[in-house]
């Protein structure tokens, strides 16, 4: 595969290929930028998609610049947001930043990654500098963004600070002389602002590469912590394996493609097998990538023993009776709902009525069944994956 074909692999948009062709023909190391804001302590597999693309550039001999947005995190990226983000403190951002690099280097080549914090230049910026930067963009241009436009039409508050976010991200590109910036499709506007700011400064505008957004465990929405549909780099091997096994059969092929860089031929060869076998292989490969092969094989064996052999897992969430109930008896639906192991109480009710709930091996289909406080313990099972133990 040629360098150009490798760069284009799995991308959503490339702006522009002509610019990229010219850069590649110069036969020099390109400065490739990717930014992540430490708004939470964990990175998700959604980040893995863009890390993969940055790693491809590293393998082609280009310079990877990973920006930890400790300054932009004070604003909060408004991309795809329907409401204002909560404001983080500097201490929270600092704590989150410490965990990011350890996780990112599971994918990136540590020795060939330049790590920068955008507080390096923004901490020294004067208010006059900020005003000069703000003049680069009009309100009308900002409202071209789909998320801002929807919020404005619904009279949902938009902070002036949020308007500044694309400018601040774009300024990173100016400072670093980025040749290329990588991001998800929801970052397109922000990255184009960086391209514009560079051109305004009489520099070459950066090439913009957007990557598809990984669909989360709910099978519908972008993987994110706010949607609680994510797999985290810091998840236990058991959780990674189990969560991957819950991915929709059709969506798992995107995981093969975007996380493991499988090509169409490799994917088609797996589609001839039963979807369960393909998904177990996916779970094993992803668990091995984050942890190691031995751990992944062990999780596969556990999964097959529990879910194929009908065994009860050794480990499961543990609750005391009165952490879920108010008296000696409690309705089944309330126990399930208060465990927070189900997306919603409505979903727990649906699963019960469909016969997916067992208590100590006995099936219960009435959500309002009264359950008595156990003398010792009971085990509630939902389907083949969710178990919980309730003690006296």
What is the helix, strand, coil percentage profile of the chain, to 5?
45, 15, 35
pLDDT at 38 over 90: no
| Listed residues 285, 308, 331: the one ending a domain | 308
96: Cα within 13 Å, side-chain hemisphere: 21
HSE-CB at 355 with a 13 A cutoff on CA atoms is 0
- pLDDT tens digits, 216-246: 988 888 998 778 889 999 999 989 998 998 8
Q: How far is it, in rounded angstroms, from Cα 345 to Cα 389?
A: 18
Cα radius of gyration rounded to whole Å, the chain: 24
The predicted pLDDT at position 76 comes to 59
Give the pLDDT confidence score for residue 307 in this predicted structure: 67
Q: What percent of the chain has pLDDT over 90?
A: 48
What per-residue confidence (pLDDT) applies to 31? 95
Whether residue 67 is predicted with pLDDT greater than 90 in this model: the reply is yes
123 with 154, same domain? yes
Q: Are residues 274 and 129 in the same domain?
A: no
| Mean pLDDT of the residues in the chain | 88
Q: Are residues 29 and 114 in the same domain?
A: yes
Q: Which two tokens stand for residue 277?
A: 């076998």
Q: What is the pLDDT, as a whole number, of residue 251? A: 92
CA–CA distance, 301 with 345 (Å, rounded to integer):
32
The SS3 assignment for 141 reads: helix
Which residues, listed in sequence order, are joined to residue 32 by a DSSP beta bridge?
Answer: 64, 180
Residue that is last in its domain, among 308, 338, 366: 308
Q: Which of 235, 392, 386 is nearest to 312 (CA)?
A: 386
- Residues 70, 122: Cα–Cα separation, whole Å: 10
Q: Do 168 and 96 share a structural domain?
A: yes
Which range has the top average pLDDT, 43-57, 147-161, 188-202, 266-280?
Answer: 43-57
Q: Do 278 and 342 belong to one domain? A: no
Of 308, 330, 360, the residue that ends a domain is 308
| Mean pLDDT in residue range 187-204 | 91
30 and 98 fall within a common domain: yes
Question: Does residue 229 belong to any structural domain of this protein?
Answer: no
CATH number at residue 194: 3.40.50.620
Region 376-381 average pLDDT:
90
pLDDT of residue 226: 76
CATH number for the domain that contains residue 327:
3.10.290.10
| 364 CB-contact burial (10 Å; exposed 0-12 / middle 13-18 / buried 19+) | middle
The DSSP 8-state label assigned to residue 87 in this structure reads P
Structure confidence at residue 85 (pLDDT): 52
Lowest-confidence segment of 73-87, 200-214, 286-300, 326-340 by average pLDDT: 73-87
Q: What SS3 state is found at 118?
A: coil
- Pull the structure tokens for residue 67: 């920006």
Tell me, yes or no, whether 196 lies in a domain.
yes
Indicate whether 222 belongs to any domain: no
For residues 47 and 164, membership in a common domain is answered with yes
pLDDT for 131 beyond 70? yes
The parent domain of residue 118 ranges over 3-211
Apex 206 CA angle, 202 and 207, nearest 5: 145
Residue 308 CA: distances (Å) to CA of 264, 281, 384: 29, 15, 9
Sequence-distant (6+) residues with CB within 8 A of 113 are 58, 64, 65, 66, 104, 105
Handedness of CA 19, 24, 30, 33 (dihedral sign): positive
CA pair distance 193, 171, nearest whole angstrom: 9
Q: What's the pLDDT at 82? A: 44
User: 207: pLDDT confidence band, cut at 50, 70 and 90?
Assistant: very high
pLDDT of residue 87: 65
Extract the tokens encoding 216.
């989360």
Q: What are phi and psi of 384, to 5 degrees?
A: -105, -5
| Beta pairing partners, 149 | none
**84: pLDDT strictly greater than 60:** no
Residue 221 lies in a domain: no
| Closest-CA residue to 384 (of 287, 332, 306) | 306
Residue 30 neighbours by CB under 8 Å, 6+ apart: 23, 57, 62, 63, 179, 180
Does 252 reside within a domain?
yes
Residue 34 phi, psi dihedral angles, 5° rounding: -140, 130
CA distance 221 to 251: 12
**Residue 367 structure tokens:** 């959500």
Q: Is residue 231 part of a domain?
A: no
Q: In this predicted model, which residue has the larger pLDDT, 267 or 307?
A: 267
Tens of pLDDT along 295-335? 999 999 888 877 665 667 777 889 999 999 989 999 999 99
Domains contained in the chain, number:
3
Q: 304 and 325: one domain?
A: no
Residue 226 lies in a domain: no
Per-residue pLDDT tens for 159-190? Answer: 777 778 888 889 999 999 999 999 999 889 88
Higher pLDDT, 308 or 272: 272
């Amino acid at each position: 595969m040629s360098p150009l074909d490798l760069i284009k692999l799995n991308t959503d948009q490339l702006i522009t290929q002509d610019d990229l062709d010219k850069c590649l023909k110069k036969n020099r190391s390109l400065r490739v930028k990717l930014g992540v804001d430490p708004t939470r302590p964990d990175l998700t597999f959604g980040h893995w998609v863009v890390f993969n693309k940055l790693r491809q550039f590293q393998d082609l001999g280009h310079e990877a610049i990973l920006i930890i947005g400790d300054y932009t995190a004070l604003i909060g990226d408004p991309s795809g947001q329907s409401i204002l983000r909560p404001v983080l403190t500097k201490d929270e951002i600092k704590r989150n930043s410490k965990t990011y690099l350890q996780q990112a280097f599971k994918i990136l080549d540590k020795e060939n990654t330049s790590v920068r914090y955008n507080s390096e230049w923004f901490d020294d910026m004067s208010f006059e500098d900020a005003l000069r930067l703000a003049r680069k963009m009009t309100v009308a241009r900002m409202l071209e963004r789909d998320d801002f436009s929807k919020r404005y039409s619904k009279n949902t508050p938009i902070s002036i600070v949020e308007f500044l976010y694309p400018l601040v991200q774009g300024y990173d590109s100016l400072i670093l002389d980025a040749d290329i910036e990588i991001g998800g499709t929801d970052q397109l506007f922000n990255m184009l602002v960086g391209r514009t700011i560079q051109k305004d400064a009489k520099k070459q505008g950066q090439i913009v590469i957007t990557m598809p957004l990984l669909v989360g465990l709910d099978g519908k929405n972008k993987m994110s912590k706010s949607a609680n549909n994510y797999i985290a780099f810091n998840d236990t091997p058991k959780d990674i394996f189990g969560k991957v096994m819950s991915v929709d059969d059709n969506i798992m092929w995107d995981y093969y493609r975007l996380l493991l860089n499988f090509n169409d031929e490799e994917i088609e060869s797996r589609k001839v097998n039963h979807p369960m076998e393909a998904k177990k292989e996916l779970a094993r490969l992803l668990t091995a990538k984050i942890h190691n092969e031995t751990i992944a094989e062990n999780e596969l064996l556990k999964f097959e023993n529990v879910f194929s052999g009908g065994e009860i897992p050794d480990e499961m969430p543990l609750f005391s009776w009165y952490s879920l109930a108010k008296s000696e008896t409690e309705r089944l639906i309330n126990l399930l709902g208060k465990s927070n192991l189900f997306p919603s109480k409505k979903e727990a009710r649906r699963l019960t009525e469909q016969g997916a709930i067992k208590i100590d091996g006995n099936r219960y289909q009435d959500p309002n069944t009264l359950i008595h406080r156990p003398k010792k313990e009971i085990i509630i099972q939902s389907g083949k994956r969710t178990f919980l133990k309730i003690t006296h």
